[in-house]
Amino acid sequence: MVDPFKNLVELQQSMLEGWINSSNQMMQYWRHMFELQERLISHSIDYGRGKVEIDDGPSFTGKYGKRRFDIDPERDV
């Protein structure tokens, strides 16, 4: 005689295996994304400007290139 629960158990088992495989793939994507973000952050740290003197605002002693939003033409271009 045919077991009525055999097909149901096989269906549930295949659904569980599919869910496990998709979860595993999702975790691999997350890990890859985190590795790329880590590489991006380390890249910005390596190529960032080391010491930048930031001037607080317009003053007689402030010089071009020392303010917050100024660029260094020799380095940034």
Three-class SS of residue 48?
Answer: coil
pLDDT(14) > 90:
yes
What's the whole-model pTM score?
0.51
pLDDT(35) > 80:
yes
Ramachandran region of residue 65, left (φ > 0), alpha (ψ -120 to 50) or beta?
Answer: left
Give the pLDDT of residue 9.
93
d(CA 72, CA 66) in angstroms, rounded, equals 9
d(CA 73, CA 29) in angstroms, rounded, equals 39
Which tens digits make up the pLDDT trace of 45-56? 777 666 666 655
Residue spans of the domains in the chain: they are 9-76
